[in-house]
Structure 1
Amino acid sequence: MELSEKGVYLVNGTDIVPDTEEASARIRQMTGKEPDRQQARRETMAWSILHSHNLSGDDEKLQIRFDKMASHDITYVGIIQTARASGLEQFPIPYVLTNCHNSLCAVGGTINEDDHMFGLSAAKKYGGIYVPPHQAVIHQFAREMLAECGAMILGSDSHTRYGALGTMAMGEGGGELVKQLLSQTYDIDMPGVVAVYLEGEPAAGVGPQDVALAIIGAVFDKGYVKNKVMEFVGPGIGRLSEDFRIGVDVMTTETTCLSSIWRTDEKTKNFYEIHGRRSAYREMNPGSLAYYDGCIRVNLSKIRPMIAMPFHPSNVYAIEDVQKNLKDVLHDVEERAKVSFGGKISYSLQDKIVDGKLYVDQGIIAGCAGGGFENICAAADILRGHSIGNDEFTMSVYPASMPIYMELVKDGRFADLIEAGCVVKTAFCGPCFGAGDTPANGAFSIRHSTRNFPNREGSKVQNGQIASVALMDARSIAATAANKGFLTAATEMDVKYSEPEYHFDKAIYENRVFNAWGKAEPEKELVFGPNIKDWPAMSPLPENLLLRVVSEIHDPVTTTDELIPSGETSSYRSNPLGLAEFTLSRKDPAYVPRAKQVQLVQKAIESGEDPASALSAAETQDAGSKPLADSYQDTVSLIAEKLPGVVESFKDPKAFGVGSTIFAVKPGDGSAREQAASCQKVLGGWANIAFSYATKRYRSNLINWGMLPLVIGEGDLPFANGDWVFLPDIRAAVAEKRDRIMGFVVKNGAMKEFYMTLGELTDHEREIIMDGCLINYNRKLHERQA
């Protein structure tokens, strides 16, 4: 694995030329032409697709309109509710609603199935496509039925990646899908493009997850492809099956890239033909001279079976290195646990060493990454004639769609797996986010799925329950299962891989999927269950803003799973206030009560009450022994003394607002779930303060919920948890695009000035923040148009 230090040229799709002083002469020799870097940037596949979907007329400031969209049952209720509140009349583009996350209707009574009935009624009313539970995970259905070469798809799930099929796909928070439903645009600067140059050929037993983990391990910590497009090129692509390419592609999300795209060929064409959609294919290649902002050179022949140890997909080792240095590797994981869990729980993996080998308790092959036909067939080839044993080790297999399930039944692969002791289940994303196959306390699970963040296996640290997940390829998981739970690389097994031909049965979807695209019935009523609630009213950004820091997180990266837990909490995602009760519950359980106390002040201001009296009546306590009412009163008195010009604003909700904020070093890695931001908002949150944001998705979610994505310079913080931060003239600062945001820390009888930034914001994003949220922005827009 090699990472270029500078940009590179790709000549004729085969030769990499580093952008050095000698590049021009070499390219002239190869092509007979003088290289033009700007023109060569336009020769990437990524540039071509983005240009063709851009409505702005400016190829540096893009306004993208997507061709299709997809959401699942954790996200689509909130998206449709937001769009409905903003004037939605019908879906303007094909919009697929899948039911692959809250498929197990066993938590919270009827509420999961109530969401599904809401989704079906929305498909009828607005003209959508509804995929019932257990039919397909969101991304497999999109691959089989939505993807097409040169198209763009937007999904409300972070692993929306169909680049291996020639489709540029992006996973974003629900607010960005709402904009598309209202015929608005996705506004971004033209992203950088990084070449992923594949050469060589994988060894037998090395699968797509091995290649993906090797890439993630090489680039994540460096931020090498953050918010860029990964463009896969090179001769190695032709040596990979389409299923293999898909398995690598879906994991590009874990690099923090914006999207991905691959060159296409006869194997891609064959995929579309198998699925009855030959017209969706066209050959795609970069131009004869393309320029990239970086290059990841991957020799597939040198990739070994890999494992991502807890608690991140970038914590990557070769399996053989883990076997050789087992105690050292496990000790490193234990040290990482101290950071992830803040020393709140005793965590050790030393008891997993049995006779000098790593023993694991569970194997899972599932979801959009692991549940593909070839992955499961390879696992069946390895396990044929073996047994997983009758001890602690268990293994479950989840095909990614019912058509794959049917083919595995027909060709006998399921018989091989079941005979070996595996449990075969239906298409479901649960093991990826902690809602299925939760292992026992202290157990260690290996999974061909997408993530291994803390709590994604279903454990609850606050209750003393902790398990661990490592990511591996289906082949090495099967090899470990054949070895009855002892960590084993697939390359250690003598296996003849059968590589059966896949046949797609379109009747499975024709018989079950409800497709009303282009046939909206506005007279139809939405079906609401008792848990489905409207969004509460949200105030516009005031002229002056007083923030209370209610949580301070110093982990190197904070995931969206830590901001709003996954797992059984997903059942409450149709109820904004109900779900908000879980905010930061596994990271900082004191967050919710602190935020609610601060919110009392804003509610008092809006209702014309005295905030200090409202706090006194609620008997709120400050972090110390001082009542919060006294702390608030002392703060505003000091502000009035030091800045007398703002005194008159204190009782005017348009001029003065009070809310909460959190500080995190680098928040927002992982999921696209907008609830990581919206839950803070409905509890009175008005900002995040960070050194940087892990993903564009999370920052966009903050903006769409009217929250300030503040950035402060790295170093000692001027404030601490429990402090008050005053932002005078903040509304004007946003409107006037000020480079620096002035703030004051108010404590101990003094006001200390400091500065932050908001980063680059589009004009629309500024309006959304000032209006208080995307719903308010669109209501105003709708009223003006009416």
Structure 2
Amino acid sequence: MIQLKEGGAFIKNGAEILDDGQCAGLDSRQLRQNTIAYSILKSHNTAEDMQNLKLKFDAMASHDITYVGIIQTARASGLREFPLEYVLTNCHNSLCAVGGTINEDDHLFGLSAARKYGGIYVPAHQAVIHQYMREMEAGCGRMILGSDSHTRYGALGTMAIGEGGPELVKQLLGRTYDIALPQVVAVYLTGAPRPGVGPQDVALAIIGAVFKNGYVKNKVMEFIGDGIQNLGMEYRNGIDVMTTETTCLSSVWMTDERTREYLKEHGREEMYRPLSPNGTAYYDGLVTVDLSKVKPMIALPFHPSNTYTIEELCANLSDILHEVELTAKRQLGNPDLRFSLQDKIRGGRLVVDQGVIAGCAGGTFDNICCARDILRGHSIGSGEFSLSVYPSSQPTFLSLVENGAIADLMTSGATVRSAFCGPCFGAGDVPANGALSVRHSTRNFPNREGSKPGEGQISSVALMDARSIAATAMNGGVLTAADTLDIDYQSPAYKFNGEVYKNRCYYGFGKARPEEELRFGPNITDWPHMPALTEHLLLKVASFITDPVTTTDELIPSGETSSYRSNPERLSEFALSRKDPAYVGEAKEVRAFERLREEGQDPFGGGLQGLLEEIKKLDSGVDSKEIGIGSLVYAVKPGDGSAREQAASCQKVLGGWANIAQEYATKRYRSNLINWGMLPLLLEGEPKFGRCDWIYIPNVRTAVEKRLETIEGYVLADGDAVPLKLSLGSLTDDERQIILDGCLINYYKNH
């Protein structure tokens, strides 16, 4: 059902894949300019050079666990007015369930910022961030930047990118998003999905094929082919939003009359224009998807790429679940933790404890209507199994009320709730310890469902499509693929009522009120002082992670930490708390030495005297005042997952100066490190150090200034200095200066 082509491909008019004979004499360099992605990037590039882009976006979006930090950073850097449409949604901290009053303080801060600087404010429970942007902001040929990793509106012809907050700050201050011209991979869709197969099934099939081999990493996925015409817009949106889990940079689709109708229904027909490749286009790769062969899928814990067809899983239950258990125990790193999935096998069938249909992926109109068609006239039962449904916006909810879907779902025993992203990141519908939840949401990383493995609490999430979740619910929690049912899907028309937003949202773009005062609260604090990069660094390895991939959820957990996102010091207490509970204490101990140095005192007078003697053996004339002292995190491949800048900023607040990695899982995590003044170091070969070892990097500031390819470091251990070869990879001039200045805030103050 999924095929990957080795090497590039020439495709004519987005429809005909040329064979080798037809490709003779074609210029790949010239014809790569005929992709949809190239034309959109070109129209947003402010540099003359199309190889090194400097992009300005049409609009931006943030939610209530990212916008406070972004606005605080921009404010400290000279913000006067939002220069582009900036939408502040409130879909992550919506419940205000943890931390007392501090969540609602964030919301009042957001509204006051929208008034002061001229923004758009979407109150809690009105819409999840990406559904609002689809309904009100996405348009053909546009580019949108969001501080959430699932910022994807490609099905509507919009190239959207999810990044850490500092990249949004740059746009607010009139700067650009700087990136090398990305490669573009064609995703050629053909055929039509079978009844019972939904967008999550197609998305999981693609993710399973391309994630582990990095086929589309940091590239643009361009959806073409005759199969597109067989998909409704919400179906396309459901596939598109999950492209984030492939680690691609962005996505874009060919547009057609269905795209026009969607925009027209939302009162924005003027945002439509046909998008397709210009004649014959060259792509750097080709993913062919035969939609007719996709079957209902499941992604087992703990990654969206851990995919199987439900049919395959049910035929090999014990073997597959045993392998997942072994992998999970290695990943969780707690040999005493009891984690079992095989105890869910009853009578030869897999029985799950909970179903959730929610968020930007699951909570769309079409998904919920299909779930209603399956459950109408049935009961989910009065046992342990429960089902929750979260429509993705109030207009979606209203249309579902009007067509009777909500009534049918509630009658079946499902609970229906307001627009909220919580089930996607562990702050809503937290299951019982040991439970297995099946969800049409975006991720199933560890603790995405609220677990705390360090405290012996562990449950797990498997990703599925809403249709198979409803089929499973109809059978009281027994895993059931929707294509095994004979269902008459009604496919009712969606009716958008824009009055819902007009009567509640604040629209202030172009109407800044400088006289307005920002509303603060006790948990909204400024960023602490961050020193410039010193000439030399002495770094303690405060965490040493050997997992193949480390997610941002492991670097800074989601869930209850959301309440502290506006307080850098408080939030930093949670850094690596579920992956490496000793990290914060180690980092703080080292930070105390650096604070002595910054205050003009001698940090080497105590327990570091022996290290200074080792350093002087390498360079007897070194000035100890020029040695910055801090911590670092080593991980094999860190940064998969969320765009949350806090995965990096918390390390910086705790005194972090660097990460060392074999590679970085995503561009956005590496960018977050840079924007918080940390060195994104790469290691050649296996590490010659371990946890709590000290690494000395001499002349690192000079190395950054002079663009040296190799940076020499030394592991100081047992009276010896073991050489290390490190590098920084490609850096723009601005990125180098940000690292030298110590962080993005300092960079703007200094320049």
How would you bin the TM-score normalised by the shorter chain? over 0.9
Give the Cα–Cα distance (whole angstroms) in 2 for the partners of residues 742 and 264 of structure 1. Answer: 51
Q: Residue 735 of structure 1 aligns to which amino acid in structure 2?
A: E
Give the Cα–Cα distance (whole angstroms) in 2 for the partners of residues 460 and 37 of structure 1. Answer: 50
| Correspondence for 1:114 among 105, 130, 136 | 105
| Correspondence for 1:709 among 677, 680, 683 | 680
Give the Cα–Cα distance (whole angstroms) in 1 for the partners of residues 255 and 621 of structure 2. Answer: 63
Give the Cα–Cα distance (whole angstroms) in 2 for the partners of residues 440 and 359 of structure 1. Answer: 14
> Counterpart in 1 of 2:643?
672
Q: Residue 3 of structure 2 aligns to which amino acid in structure 1?
A: E
Residues 659-738 of structure 1: pairs in structure 2 closer than 5 A: 659-715=630-686, 717-738=687-708
Q: Alignment partner of 2:127: what SS?
A: coil
Give the Cα–Cα distance (whole angstroms) in 2 for the partners of residues 5 and 52 of structure 1. Answer: 30
- Per-residue deviation, 1:608: 1.8
TM-score (norm 1): 0.95
Give the Cα–Cα distance (whole angstroms) in 1 for the partners of residues 670 and 22 of structure 2. Answer: 38
- Per-residue deviation, 1:645: 2.4
Matched, 1:273 2:273: no
Give the Cα–Cα distance (whole angstroms) in 1 for the partners of residues 409 and 396 of structure 2. Answer: 15
Q: Residue 574 of structure 2 aligns to which amino acid in structure 1?
A: F
Q: Alignment partner of 1:609: what SS?
A: coil
Matched, 1:496 2:496: no
* Runs of 4+ with >2 A deviation: 22-25
> Counterpart in 2 of 1:617?
none
> Counterpart in 2 of 1:180?
171
Residues 245-256 of structure 1: pairs in structure 2 closer than 5 A: 245-256=236-247
> Counterpart in 2 of 1:764?
734
Matched, 1:191 2:182: yes
Cα deviation per residue 1:555-612 (whole Å; 9 max; x = unaligned)?
Answer: 1100000000000011000000000000000000000000000001110111122324
- Per-residue deviation, 1:35: 2.0
Give the Cα–Cα distance (whole angstroms) in 1 for the partners of residues 385 and 18 of structure 2. Answer: 50
> Counterpart in 2 of 1:13?
14
Give the Cα–Cα distance (whole angstroms) in 1 for the partners of residues 642 and 13 of structure 2. Answer: 37
- Per-residue deviation, 1:289: 0.5
Matched, 1:744 2:714: yes
> Counterpart in 2 of 1:28?
none
Q: Residue 245 of structure 1 aligns to which amino acid in structure 2?
A: R
Structure 2 contact 604–612 (Cα < 8 Å) conserved: no
Cα deviation per residue 1:685-717 (whole Å; 9 max; x = unaligned)?
Answer: 0000000000000000000000000000233x1
- Per-residue deviation, 1:718: 1.3
> Counterpart in 2 of 1:24?
23
Give the Cα–Cα distance (whole angstroms) in 2 for the partners of residues 547 and 502 of structure 1. Answer: 57
- Per-residue deviation, 1:24: 3.1
- Per-residue deviation, 1:343: 3.1
Cα deviation per residue 1:159-192 (whole Å; 9 max; x = unaligned)?
Answer: 0000000000000000100000000000000000
> Counterpart in 2 of 1:383?
375
> Counterpart in 1 of 2:468?
476
Residues 526-537 of structure 1: pairs in structure 2 closer than 5 A: 526-537=518-529
Residues 368-407 of structure 1: pairs in structure 2 closer than 5 A: 368-407=360-399
| Correspondence for 1:135 among 126, 139, 143 | 126
Q: Alignment partner of 2:18: what SS?
A: strand
Q: Alignment partner of 2:395: what SS?
A: helix
Q: Residue 517 of structure 2 aligns to which amino acid in structure 1?
A: E
Residues 549-698 of structure 1: pairs in structure 2 closer than 5 A: 549-613=541-605, 629-630=606-607, 632-646=608-622, 649-650=623-624, 652=625, 655-698=626-669
Q: Residue 720 of structure 1 aligns to which amino acid in structure 2?
A: G
Q: Alignment partner of 1:62: what SS?
A: strand
Give the Cα–Cα distance (whole angstroms) in 1 for the partners of residues 275 and 351 of structure 2. Answer: 45
Give the Cα–Cα distance (whole angstroms) in 2 for the partners of residues 282 and 641 of structure 1. Answer: 67
Q: Residue 14 of structure 2 aligns to which amino acid in structure 1?
A: G
> Counterpart in 2 of 1:235?
226
Give the Cα–Cα distance (whole angstroms) in 2 for the partners of residues 713 and 280 of structure 1. Answer: 48
> Counterpart in 2 of 1:621?
none
- Where structure 1 has 5 or more consecutive residues not aligned to the other structure, the ranges are 26-33, 614-628, 782-786
Cα deviation per residue 1:271-298 (whole Å; 9 max; x = unaligned)?
Answer: 0000000001000000111000000000
> Counterpart in 1 of 2:252?
261
Give the Cα–Cα distance (whole angstroms) in 2 for the partners of residues 697 and 542 of structure 1. Answer: 25
| Correspondence for 2:305 among 298, 314, 328 | 314
| Correspondence for 2:348 among 353, 356, 367 | 356
Identity %: 64
> Counterpart in 1 of 2:161?
170
Give the Cα–Cα distance (whole angstroms) in 1 for the partners of residues 369 and 63 of structure 2. Answer: 27
Q: Alignment partner of 2:621: what SS?
A: helix
Provide the aligned C-alpha RMSD in A.
0.8
Q: Alignment partner of 1:286: what SS?
A: coil
Q: Alignment partner of 1:645: what SS?
A: coil
> Counterpart in 1 of 2:536?
544
Residues 369-448 of structure 1: pairs in structure 2 closer than 5 A: 369-448=361-440
Q: How many residue pairs align between the two structures?
A: 749
Give the Cα–Cα distance (whole angstroms) in 1 for the partners of residues 479 and 23 of structure 2. Answer: 50
Q: Alignment partner of 2:87: what SS?
A: strand
Give the Cα–Cα distance (whole angstroms) in 2 for the partners of residues 414 and 723 of structure 1. Answer: 58
Give the Cα–Cα distance (whole angstroms) in 2 for the partners of residues 378 and 232 of structure 1. Answer: 24
Give the Cα–Cα distance (whole angstroms) in 1 for the partners of residues 509 and 448 of structure 2. Answer: 34
TM-score (norm 2): 0.99
> Counterpart in 2 of 1:305?
296
Q: Alignment partner of 2:724: what SS?
A: strand
Cα deviation per residue 1:196-252 (whole Å; 9 max; x = unaligned)?
Answer: 000010000000000000000000000000000000000000010011000000000
Q: Residue 675 of structure 1 aligns to which amino acid in structure 2?
A: Q
Q: Alignment partner of 1:2: what SS?
A: strand
Give the Cα–Cα distance (whole angstroms) in 2 for the partners of residues 75 and 633 of structure 1. Answer: 41
Q: Alignment partner of 1:512: what SS?
A: coil
Give the Cα–Cα distance (whole angstroms) in 1 for the partners of residues 340 and 677 of structure 2. Answer: 42
Give the Cα–Cα distance (whole angstroms) in 1 for the partners of residues 471 and 443 of structure 2. Answer: 21
> Counterpart in 1 of 2:5?
4
